[in-house]
């Protein structure tokens, strides 16, 4: 929740939507820190762009440039903090764009819908009418994958 008090002591509040507030790179690296399977200094950083605001002109190129700057700065800081004893390996940063980027989500959805398992894990209109919107909080697809 964002709160601001102006000169006339009026309190203004903005919605707590995470994607509206932070800088994109801060959000990206904040989430990356939470991801347990990828130590930053050991493996390449690969980002695949798909739809939405990734379609802005040169978004992929700019994102790759900015990610590389942040990663390199973190590696330099790690080296400085170790007193030069630890020399981290350079991390390859790759932002992947594709000519089907605009439709990738829909293409993936259509591939999922064409599998035989799809009808075992999807919610029907009848289920939705019986249980209401709360049925959307549980997705059996994730139970199948574990």
Residue 5: per-residue pLDDT: 44
Residue 12: per-residue pLDDT: 43
CA distance 93 to 90: 9
User: What is the DSSP-derived secondary structure letter of residue 47?
Assistant: E
For residue range 97-111, list pLDDT tens digits in order.
Answer: 888 888 888 888 899
Residue 60 burial (C-beta neighbours within 10 Å; 0-12, 13-18, 19+): buried
Residue 30: per-residue pLDDT: 64
CA angle 119, 107, 26 (to 5 degrees): 110
Our separate counts of H helices and E strands in the chain read: 6, 4
On whether residue 138 sits in a domain, the answer given is: yes
Residue 95: per-residue pLDDT: 92
Query: Do 107 and 91 sit in the same domain of this protein?
Result: yes
Residue 94: per-residue pLDDT: 92
Strand partners, 48: 96
Under 8 Å CB-to-CB from 85, ≥6 apart: which residues? none
Structurally, how many domains does the chain consist of?
Answer: 2
| Positions in the chain short of pLDDT 70 | 1-24, 26-43, 140-146
On whether residue 16 sits in a domain, the answer given is: no
On whether residue 12 sits in a domain, the answer given is: no
CATH assignment of the domain containing 57: 3.30.420.40
Residue 38: per-residue pLDDT: 46
Residue 2: per-residue pLDDT: 42
CA distance 36 to 78: 19
Q: 121 is in which domain, residue-wise?
A: 117-146
Residue 143: per-residue pLDDT: 61
CA distance 40 to 28: 13
On whether residue 7 sits in a domain, the answer given is: no
């Amino acid at each position: 929740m964002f709160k601001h008090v102006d000169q006339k002591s009026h309190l203004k509040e903005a919605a707590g939507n995470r994607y509206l507030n932070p800088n994109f790179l801060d959000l990206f690296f904040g989430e990356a820190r939470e991801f347990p399977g990828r130590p930053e200094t050991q493996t390449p950083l690969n980002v695949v762009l798909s739809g939405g605001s990734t379609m802005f002109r040169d978004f992929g190129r700019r994102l790759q440039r900015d990610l590389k700057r942040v990663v390199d700065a973190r590696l330099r800081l790690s080296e400085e903090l170790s007193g030069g004893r630890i020399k981290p390996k350079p991390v390859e940063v790759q932002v992947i764009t594709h000519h089907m980027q605009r439709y990738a989500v829909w293409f993936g959805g259509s591939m999922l819908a064409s599998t035989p398992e799809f009808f075992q894990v999807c919610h029907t209109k009848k289920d939705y009418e019986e249980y209401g919107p709360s049925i959307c909080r549980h997705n059996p697809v994730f139970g199948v994958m574990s």
